[in-house]
Chain A
Amino acid sequence: MGLESFLAVGAIIFCIGLYGALTKRNAITVLMCIELMFTAVNITAVTLSRYVVPAGLAENPASVSDDVLQTLLTGQVFTIFIITVAAAEVALGLAIVMAVFKNRESVFVTDATEMKH
């Protein structure tokens, strides 16, 4: 199990999420797919954070500068942020879906076309 496997999993999940977000009519499904894309990004971020900098550190500790060492956990911290923000965003998104549903009894994104030219 190496770097490539993790990145491949992230890419596959991202693509599934993107596909779903672009093709599903149900707004809740779309939201779920966006969550999938977040997850993929999180996986990629944590993977890169875990592999890229520490790998260089293990091979030649002197080649890694202090600035880089300070970013050792950047990917993980980023991921925590994304999970938090995504939770808030889902809450907001579901609230919008509820509001739209109350308005026109539909959760289909194709029915919300007010912004058409």
Chain B
Amino acid sequence: MISEIAVWLVFFLPLASFVAIAFVIRPFLNGYAVTAGYVSILAIATSLALSVWALGTVAHEHTSVEFAPHRWLTIGTLEISLGVTLDSLTAVMLLVVTSVSLMVQVYSTGYMKGDPGYARYYAYLSLFTASMLGLVLASSLVQLFVFWELVGLCSYLLIGFWYHKPSAAAAAKKAFIVTRIGDFGLLLALLYLFFNQDKFPAGLNALNISDINDAALGVLGSNVVTWIAVGIFAGAVGKSAQFPLHTWLPDAMEGPTPVSALIHAATMVAAGVFLVARFFPLFEASTTAMNAVAVIGGVTAIFAATMGLVQHDIKRVLAYSTVSQLGYMMLALGVGAYGAAIFHLFTHAFFKALLFLGSGSVSHAAGGTFDMRYMGGLRKVMPWTYVTFLVGSLSLAGLFPLAGFWSKDEILAHAWGAEGAVSQVVFWLALVSVFLTAFYMFRALFMTFEGDFKGGAAKDPKADAHGHHGEMHPHESPWPMVAPLVLLGLAAAAVGFIANPITDLGVVPIHWLTTFLSEGAAHETVEFNVGVATISSAIALAGIVLAYTIYGVRRPAISPEAMGRWFRPVHTLFYRKYYFDELYEGVLVRGVFYRGVAQALDWADKSIVDGVVRMVDRLGRNTGRAMGQLQNGQLQGYGLAISVGVLLIFGVYLLFR
């Protein structure tokens, strides 16, 4: 049994580390900034241990552990409470967040070594992790919303960590503003619940997550449920970078690479999927909402994968891959495969963190560039990075028996088995993305590690080569960077089969994770579907083989340039990201907002608001001038005025006596 304090500590330890670093180490002991890393790692390691304990408790008890919420605010009849939920979903998320965060923080001691903002970096990382843990633990919607926004704030701070780079500052703003559009939907859903608390029966708190889920079935009208679900989903779309709010995530590359790993694997984007999973009973109560989730997820999966095909920046390839994989998870949720979605979130966290950290290691070796056209041949000089990156890529491509295979197959099997036209459509979307995923991942792998070294940062005109000039000599990264890669590599290889085996392993029962996650709800687990698995594996293999024939051999039968020429319009469309940035920046921001709304408001401000002010000013000035005319310095004029005034007063007195 786990005590409530221990659960709270999971969240409070990283928060305490943030406070210690931000208010003690950074202002007073910045000369010893390296201690910031140790403090932060110690805190997150303890959190990880507590998370394992929490997971063990929940798994052992076979039920979620209930803690009575604490009263926070009472507004009229509404009570807003603070509390921790510890169900299977939270327990799994806690493990994912703390373990990935620990790996990222260990890796960062090597990657960020000597950075002038070292202490600040660790302060942000700790706050980021703490916010995500608070989000995962939250029992009330208000509490969840607070941490939701904190996660957004931290991602802003970390993406813009190198704020002196204009592109980083712009990317940070973009991430913040684009996710804010989605957050507006979540806020609307929250406000609806706040103002309609009287619709909830006695005993159910309108802002308690479990109570909302209970009320979704029957108590609330189906329209109301749909709209609340759509509002919540809008928040998830923003956070999880789903179509059409996906544009911020690829730009979020501007932050330090370990931050990208954290954002893409555990903290930021997982929050959207988590949110939908948290309100899953609510979504299930509305077919419309479920279909919306499935379609958005499916479209995003294939849409992002196509953009990933043609990027030159290795981190951008990975970023589109994340968007695509998040689409998978949404798709799974949409077809009702709750357990499969979280299972994929779980495995994806490990292999995506691995791939990002691997790309950071590659860039470290290549002197700071992320452009794959200037890499190549790194396999021989950095074997550890190569092997772990290969494992991550295979896992992401979904090849037997790596982690990604099991979770991806679980989703595909669910989509295949689910009823309704929507799930059939998204099944095919998902299957096409399997091919695309395998292709772009191995394209990146071959471009980076095979062939000859093409000069690294010294040749890249855009890279700020940290003082490197002339010949580059790539080298393997130091052990604080390699160790997390190896650990994550092991996880990316094994975690899928161990956590959710298709046969009874004795220690781990069959379909353990999905059964565990679905506990207390009537979600069936789907049997391992050999047919779907074979087809998806074959498709993934085809993608890898195609990538090999184009990018893997020295004299390819089909050169990349020829491919680019043949598919010129499509290539351009993909490379320019379907012109979504242009659409948003040019049409929406500049056209509609700047030319339309902003200029209309500017006109109103200038002519109406300023006009009233200027009128008041002119009235006073003109009155003053007229009065001033009377004061002409002619004493006799004053005398006359006094005489006439006395006569007037006297006359009035006589009249109205």
Contacts and interface: CB of A to CB of B under 8 A. Distances in A.
B628 A113 contact: no
Interface string A18-48: 1001110000001000000000000000000
Interface in A97-117: 109-110, 112-117
Interface residues of A, number: 13
Contacts of B640: 22
Contacts of A113: 632-634
User: Which size bracket describes the interface of B in this complex?
Assistant: 10 to 19
Interface in B602-641: 628, 631-636, 639-640
Nearest to A27: B635
Nearest to B637: A22
A109 B631 contact: no
B643 A116 contact: no
A22 B636 contact: yes
A22 B628 contact: no
B631 A117 contact: yes
B639 A116 contact: no
A114 B631 CA distance: 11
Contacts of A116: 631-633
A50 to B, nearest CB: 25
Nearest to A115: B633
A21 B639 contact: yes
Contacts of B635: 109, 112
Contacts of A110: 634
A26 B631 CA distance: 21
B639 A109 contact: no
Contact of A18 (B628, B632, B633, B643): B643
Contacts of B632: 113, 116-117
Contacts of B643: 18, 22
Nearest to A30: B636
A109 B628 contact: no
A72 B546 CA distance: 132
Nearest to B632: A116
A116 B639 CA distance: 15
7 contacts: A18-B643, A22-B636, A22-B643, A109-B634, A109-B636, A113-B634, A117-B632
Interface of B: 628, 631-636, 639-640, 643
Interface of A: 18, 21-23, 30, 109-110, 112-117
Given A22-B639, A114-B633, A117-B633, 8 more contacts: A21-B636, A22-B640, A109-B634, A112-B633, A113-B633, A113-B634, A116-B633, A117-B632
